[in-house]
Every structure is written in C-alpha cells, then in structure tokens.
Amino acid sequence: MTSSISRRLVLWLAVPLTLLALCGVLIHYFNSVAPGVITGDRRLRDAASALSARIQFKEGQFVLDRQVAKGVGSTAPPVDDTMLFALRDSHGTLLAGDPRLQPAPLNSTAVQAFALAPINRGNVRTLTSRLVTPQGPLTLTVADAAKINEAAARFGFMSTLLWDFVQLDVTLVLVWVGIQLGLKPVKKLRDEIAERSPLDLRPIAESTVPRELAPLTATLNRLFLMLRTSVQSQQQFIANTAHQLRTPITGMLAQLDLLATDPAALPIKHRLVNLQEGMRQLAHSSNQLLTLARADPAVNITTKNQVVDINHIVSEVVAKFFDRALQCDIDLGVESQSVSILADPSLIDDLLSNLVDNALKYTPAGGRVTVSAGRDSQGKPFVQVEDTGTGIPEAERQRVRQRFYRLPNSPGHGSGLGLSIVDEIAKLYGGQLCIDAGVNGAGTIMRVEFPGGM
C-alpha cells in the first residue's frame, strides 16, 4: 500500500504541534492557575490559625466570639468576612459557624486536610484542622467563598486545554488545505499525463511546472524522446522489411507466371501451379504479418492520423475483391453511408480487406456478402461485413481473434491472422470487433464500431 505525502506531512506536523500545545497548557497552569490555588491554600491556613486562636471555653462549652473572630479587641490576625467556618466537637456536633461546611475525613496522623464542599450550587475548597485542647479534640473547617476555588481553577484549566486543542485542530486543517494547494501542480501534471493516449508522446512543457517538479518533468521528457526514437526505428525497420519481402516475392510470382505460359514448361505445369499457389500464399502471409506489425500500438505511437472517408475505403475494397467474388459465384454488395474517422487510411483498408477476404473464403458459391458502413443509433461510426457462409460457433468467437488460430475444418490454407489484424486495428483506434450470427442464425456478421467520427 502506497503512502500519501499529504498524510505524512500532516502526521509529522501533528506530533510536534500536539507536544507544543501540551507544553502551553502546562505553562498556563503553572503561571496562572497554580499560583492562585497556592495563594488560596495559604489564606485558608492563615484563617484556620486565626480562628483557632479565638476559641474559648466558657461555662462548660466551647464558643467562638464573633466580634473576636472579626478582630475586634483581639491581637490575633484579622479574619476576612468572606471566610466561612464550622467548629465541631469530637462527635461531629456543630458548635459554631456554617452548618453547610462538612469536615474532611482525617486519619489518625493527619492534622489538616484539604477538600471540596458544596456551597451555593458550587464547590469551594475547604481546609479541615484537628485542634487539641485541654477540654477535648475539636475540628475546625474553613472555606473562602469569595476567591477562586479548585473547581473554578479546574474549569479554567480545562477551558484552556480545550481551546488549545481547538487551535491545534484548526491549525492542522489549515496545514492540510495548504498541502493540498501546494500539491496542486503535482496533481495537474498527473492529470495531464493520465489524459494522454498511448499515442501521445509530446514533451511536457517544463516552463509550466514548479522548480521542484522540473527534474521529474525533464526525466519524463527524456523517456518520451527515447520512446519516439525507438518507435521511429521500428517503423523504419518494418518499412524496409516490407520492401525487402514484397519486391523479391512479386518478382518470383511474375517469373512463375511467365514460366507457366512457356510451352517448354508444359510437362511440369502442375508443379508450377502448386508453386504459384504457394508463392501467393507466402505473399499473402507476409503482407498479413507486416500489417499486424503496423497495427501494433507500440509502433503507431507517433502515427499521424488523418480524416478517412470510410465510404471511399469501402468502394475501393469492394472493387478490389469484385473479380474474385464473380469467380466464386458470390454476390458482393455494398450498403454504405458517408462517414469519416481519424485514422491511418492504409490500416482501415487492411481492416476491411481482411473482413471481406474472410467472408469470401467461408461463403459457398451462390451465397451473398454485404459490406456496409455508417453510423449506429448512438451516432458512432461502424463498418460491417455480413455473409451467408458457414458461420462461427459462439464458443469459438473469442478464440478466432487469437493469432494463428483457425477453425477446425477451415477451407484453404490461411494463416489464422485475418481477424487478429482486424481486432488489433480496431483496438488501436479505440474500437471493438463484434462477431454475431447472421439473419436467422445463418452466416456471420463482423462489425467494427469506432468511438467517434467527424
């Protein structure tokens, strides 16, 4: 599974930004919240100390004079009016102060303990102290109702933590958006290459890409140049091979035709006929192999296509096979409409020639072959050859497209390349070869549909 650059960048930024946010929260706590909590605890201790100094035992019970508690007529430190207190004996009975203040539990060794107590629908921080007097142990609980308590401090801390992480999330979203915008040239380059057909090896304009992508673009352009050079060499090789093969074969056929008319060759005429047939088969097979090589997409990457009038190609192909159809007593007809596509005229000629050749080969005497061209109901161009021959079983319709495959008991000495050539040329121009049965299941319909026209 390939990794995403965007996700990796966001991950690399998310970890340090999260650590920085946590450090910021801790700094805020120690700079703002902790000093307030420490100061509040110190005030509670001072208040507890001041109040414990004003406890008196009168008439058999403990009292805490309120005037004295406020500092009137006493040398003890004053106690703020916002301080709440509750004085209880060893049995938990309230002796003086606010009954809402409950003492915090103290173990046998603890003298003081901080806790939270609910006051006025809120929590206040309390300090519970154990006092030892000659008349027995007492419990004094004090609370500061006016100052920031622990709950408020906790709320402030959590609010700061939440806000810092909201800022972190927003920052990561902005970083993600920035990365996506920054990677837009990469996606544009990817889309430009993806939209190209295998035939398009034009160099990419290096002036339109960012500097970071310039080395990649230069490398791609070098690759395209090497492919164009290789294809041109292959095309030149095929052209030279075609010339070197066709010239001697044509010369040999001409010499054999002259030799067959010579009276001196009459005793071996039947051998000359077999030799002529073999040379014609060799010429046909070599032409098919060269056509198949020319139809290879790898060879046609740099082919310059042009507007091809299919109706004109149909007329030329039918005229080329007309004499053969007459000799075989086959009705060769045309039903063509004017339609054009972008293609190589010679390859379209080869495609249609192979279809007509196959149809004539497999149609018995007295049969019919119809060549048609036009547009279907969706406006797509097509060429079609329909015959009344032996037909192709449905199970074999995919296999006959394979190179060198021939149907069992096929007539003649074909090489099994005709439909392979048709299929390759159709795919070269984004079309497809469809093989169906003829009317009432008799014969075969060979139809090549192209994706668009002119």
Residue 356, pLDDT above cutoff 80: yes
Residue 236 lies in a domain: yes
Query: What's the pLDDT tens digit per position in 227-272?
Result: 777 766 666 666 666 556 666 777 777 777 777 787 877 788 778 7
User: Same domain for 334 and 415?
Assistant: yes
Bridge partners, 331 (sequence order) = 368
Average pLDDT over residues 326-351: 88
The token pair that represents 408 in the structure block = 């069992």
Note the pLDDT of residue 68: 43
Rounded mean pLDDT, 273-289: 73
Give the chain's domain count: 3
Do residue 278 and residue 326 come from a single domain?
A: no
Per the domain annotation, does 165 fall within a domain?
no
**3-class state of residue 290 by DSSP:** helix
Q: Return the higher-pLDDT residue of 369 and 6.
A: 369
**Per DSSP, what are the bridge partners of residue 449?**
382, 432
Residue 172 covered by a domain: no
Residues 297 and 310 in one domain: no
Burial class (CB in 10 A: 0-12, 13-18, 19+), 246: middle
Which of 447, 446, 434 lies closest to 359 in space, CA to CA? 446
CA distance readout (Å), 93 to 85, 191, 205: 14, 84, 92
**Which of 269, 303, 337 finishes a domain?**
303
How much of the chain exceeds pLDDT 70, in percent?
76
25-41 burial, b at 16+ Cβ within 10 Å, e below that, comes to beebbeeebeebbeebe
What amino acid occupies position 352? L
Identify whether residues 281 and 365 lie together within a single domain.
no
385 has a pLDDT exceeding 90: yes
Residue type (1 letter), 171: T
pLDDT, one tens digit per residue, over 130-179 is 888 877 888 888 887 765 444 555 666 677 777 777 887 888 888 888 87
Highest mean pLDDT among 20-24, 35-39, 141-145, 383-387: 383-387
Q: Is 55 left (phi over 0), alpha (psi -120 to 50) or beta?
A: beta
Q: Determine the residue type at 27.
A: I
Both 52 and 84 in one domain: the answer is yes
User: Is residue 276 a contact partner of residue 257, using CB atoms and an 8 Å limit?
Assistant: yes
Question: What are 122's two structure tokens?
Answer: 């809120």
Q: Are 395 and 261 members of one domain?
A: no
CATH assignment of the domain containing 52: 3.30.450
Mean pLDDT estimate for the chain: 78
- 240 inside domain: yes
Q: Are residues 390 and 404 in the same domain?
A: yes
Q: Are residues 403 and 294 in the same domain?
A: no
CA 238: distance to chain centroid?
A: 40
Same-domain check for residues 13 and 140? yes
Query: Can you give the pLDDT at residue 70?
Result: 45
**Domain's final residue, options 243, 268, 303:** 303
End residue of a domain, out of 303, 328, 345: 303
Walk across the sheet containing 122-133 and list its strands.
Answer: 94-97, 83-89, 136-144, 122-133, 112-119
Residues 121 and 224 in one domain: no
Nearest one of 309, 282, 292 to 354, comparing CA atoms:
292
Mean pLDDT over 68-76 rounds to 41
Q: Is 188 part of a structural domain of the chain?
A: no
Task: Verify that 276 and 324 share a domain, yes or no.
Answer: no
Instruction: Tell me, yes or no, whether 376 and 281 share the same domain.
Output: no
User: What one-letter code names the amino acid at 216?
Assistant: L
Q: Is residue 161 situated within a structural domain?
A: no
Q: How many CB atoms lie within 10 A of CB 199?
A: 15
By residue range, what is the domain housing residue 86? 5-155
Q: How far is CA 415 from CA 241, 249, 287, 290, 412, in A?
A: 19, 17, 11, 13, 9
> pLDDT digits over 84-137, tens only?
888 888 788 888 888 888 888 888 777 888 887 777 766 778 888 888 887 788
